[in-house]
Chains A and B, each alone.
Chain A
Amino acid sequence: MHAPPPFPEPTPAATDAALVARWLEGDQAAVHELTERYYRPVCGFLLKRVQRPDLVEDLAQETFLEAVRSVKSLHRPEQFASWLFGIAHNRCGKWLRRPRLALFSAREAYEQVPAPETLSAQEEWEEQQKRLAALEKGLADLPDETRTLLDMKHRQGKTCEQIAQELGRPAGTVKSLLSRAYKTLRVRLRPLGDDP
């Protein structure tokens, strides 16, 4: 199983600045390092804003693409995180301001109500760090068997029935194990004091 690397620890802003300096000199390795460092937090932010998991990859690509196009305008490289989240914020705004449908179904209803913009880019970055760290901790506490199921479902894109067939277990058991894991992780992602 190809487990993704754990979420990186927060790094000092100076390191970002050094990577941006190398980026401006044409060092593609620095670009890769920064994208790998910020990919998950940016995706978490985009997900929170647009509420559409199927759009996150596209919006994240647009965010980083815009960063590549405008990195020369970044005057304070030590604030790279805030700058990048600002770009992500703008991409979300563009998507949320697109011509809308009048919707009745709850599946889409929430798309019409952007999350309140009460957090600064730096605060968003910190919030995403916490959420992703909580997710990692939650995943680490799950049994190996359950993590394997999650990998088959979310990385390999298999249905519960396909997973059940591959593992030789009833589909109901697979769904039950996944459901239990999801509920555990959902609780982990709630901010402290935000119990149902």
Chain B
Amino acid sequence: MSPLTCQQIEAQIELYAAGACDPRTDGAIREHLALCPACALADREARQLIGLLDVRFQEPERLERLHARLQAESQRRTRRWSPMWRPVAALAAMLLLTVGLAWSVRPGEVADVHGGGELAIALVPAMEQIGVKEASARGNPFGPKPAILPGPAPRNPFTYPLNLHGQTAKDFRAQLQAAAGTDRLPPPPEIDLSLELRNTTHEELRIAPLARRAELQLDLAGPGAVTVAGPASDDEPFRPATIVAVAPGQSFKLPIRRLVYGSRQAIRRAYWTEPGDYTLTVRYRVAVCPAPRGARPAEVPGSTAGRFGYVMLQGPPIKLQIVAAAEPTGR
């Protein structure tokens, strides 16, 4: 698609902000906005309008959810010390999932809020059950692996090599900027992690990673962290099975092989462009059944029973060490 002019952008900017453009137009507008401050300002204005319209038209439903949450909070505060109200406290704990609150879960651990059960999230090494050294000694029991440092197995499983594809860091960043949103982007860094969702409730939970508003976010922060819009075809985060049942005490693991994330409407890629210490934080908006009270309802294709609702989960940041190294040999 040929580049759009400012007049063409202005004509469609509200539809773009409302997510009503076709993918090709969407990509072309996104490219233009990255380079045009005037149109970016129009985009902000349009997004303000779309956001206000969402608030205005969805107000009854949103207020209903807000009131349910405030009531649960009120009950929790009133009855938190009484053992007979523990089930209510557990329900209040479930409601916390709806607002994206972070709780302290270290990789491989689960949270236990107010003595109740919940769905916990953490990024964990893909080989966490065995450990890097053992995995190395056994060859590769987990199938194709992303590139990890050649030579002796590193002690820290979150160590990855810097790969600038033969360019300087500055040139590499310029390339990322120029190719944002297109298929010309270099492949994003490979990683070897799993997103673990652990069910600590006393009932089976069903998870629908493919629901329409599902969104995976991988916030990479560090000395050379760069995030750009990915090509629309880059739908890797949304390929897992439609509905997954997770029994009490069990986990669902979603492999995270590359730094690709986002929603169906907006795919993003993250890159590291300098060696050093980085952090990676995961946020995941996913549809869960039974829906916690107050959760936004989710339409899940193929669901025949039970109501799904969206929950926003956020894991703790994990540390990544990016080291300058020769091009990995791969495994």
CB–CB A179/B14 < 8 A: yes
- Which residues of B9-44 have CB atoms within 8 Å of chain A's CB atoms? 11-12, 14-15, 18, 20, 30, 33-36, 40, 42-44
CB–CB A151/B15 < 8 A: no
Chain B residues in 8 Å Cβ range of A173: none
B4 CB-CB contact with A under 8 Å:
no
CB–CB B57/A150 < 8 A: yes
**Distance in Å: Cβ of B69 to nearest Cβ of chain A:** 6
**Distance in Å: Cβ of A41 to nearest Cβ of chain B:** 10
**Distance in Å: Cβ of B117 to nearest Cβ of chain A:** 21
Residue tally, chain B, CB below 8 Å to A: 69
Most buried by B among A44, A52, A106, A155: A106
B74 CB-CB contact with A under 8 Å:
yes
A75 CB-CB contact with B under 8 Å:
no
Question: CA–CA, A105 to B40, complex, Å?
Answer: 10
Name B221's contact: one of A100, A109, A135, A190 (CB within 8 Å): A100
B56 CB-CB contact with A under 8 Å:
yes
CB–CB B46/A182 < 8 A: yes
CB–CB A186/B46 < 8 A: yes
Nearest residue (CB) in B for A160 is: B20
CB–CB A153/B180 < 8 A: no
**Distance in Å: Cβ of B9 to nearest Cβ of chain A:** 11
**Distance in Å: Cβ of A132 to nearest Cβ of chain B:** 7
Name B59's contact: one of A4, A108, A196 (CB within 8 Å): A4
A165 CB-CB contact with B under 8 Å:
no
Taking A99-B317, A185-B49 as contacts, is the C-beta distance between A64 and B70 under 8 angstroms? yes
Question: CA–CA, A52 to B42, complex, Å?
Answer: 15
CB–CB B270/A105 < 8 A: no
Chain A residues in 8 Å Cβ range of B279: 99
Most buried by A among B46, B53, B59: B53
Taking A65-B70, A99-B221, A105-B181 as contacts, is the C-beta distance between A178 and B18 under 8 angstroms? yes
CB–CB A61/B228 < 8 A: no
- Which residues of B84-142 have CB atoms within 8 Å of chain A's CB atoms? 98-101
CB–CB A110/B40 < 8 A: yes
Nearest residue (CB) in A for B223 is: A102
CB–CB A189/B221 < 8 A: no
CB–CB B59/A39 < 8 A: yes
Chain A residues in 8 Å Cβ range of B317: 99
* Majority-rule SS of A interface residues: helix
Chain A residues in 8 Å Cβ range of B101: 62
Chain A residues in 8 Å Cβ range of B33: 105-107
**Distance in Å: Cβ of A190 to nearest Cβ of chain B:** 8
Nearest residue (CB) in B for A161 is: B20
**Distance in Å: Cβ of A194 to nearest Cβ of chain B:** 10
- How many A residues are at the interface, by size bracket? 35 or more
Kindly specify which of A13-21, A29-37, A77-85, A116-124 makes contact with the partner chain. Answer: A29-37
Chain A residues in 8 Å Cβ range of B229: 105, 107
Nearest residue (CB) in A for B11 is: A179
Taking A47-B55, A154-B54, A186-B45 as contacts, is the C-beta distance between A35 and B66 under 8 angstroms? yes
A131 CB-CB contact with B under 8 Å:
yes
Question: CA–CA, A40 to B61, complex, Å?
Answer: 13
Nearest residue (CB) in A for B48 is: A47
- Which residues of B181-225 have CB atoms within 8 Å of chain A's CB atoms? 181, 219-221, 224-225
Q: Taking A105-B33, A182-B18 as given, write out 6 further A-B residue pairs in contact, using a Cβ cutoff of 8 Å, ordered by the A residue number.
A: A56-B51, A65-B70, A105-B180, A154-B50, A154-B53, A175-B15
Which of B's residues lie within 8 Å of A, judged by CB? 11-12, 14-15, 18, 20, 30, 33-36, 40, 42-63, 65-67, 69-71, 73-74, 77, 98-101, 173, 176-177, 180-181, 219-221, 224-229, 266, 268, 270, 279, 281, 296, 312, 317
Which of A's residues lie within 8 Å of B, judged by CB? 2, 4, 28, 31-32, 35-36, 39-40, 43-44, 47-48, 51-53, 56-58, 60-62, 64-65, 68-69, 99-110, 131-132, 135, 139, 150-151, 153-155, 159-160, 175, 178-179, 182-183, 185-186, 189-190, 196
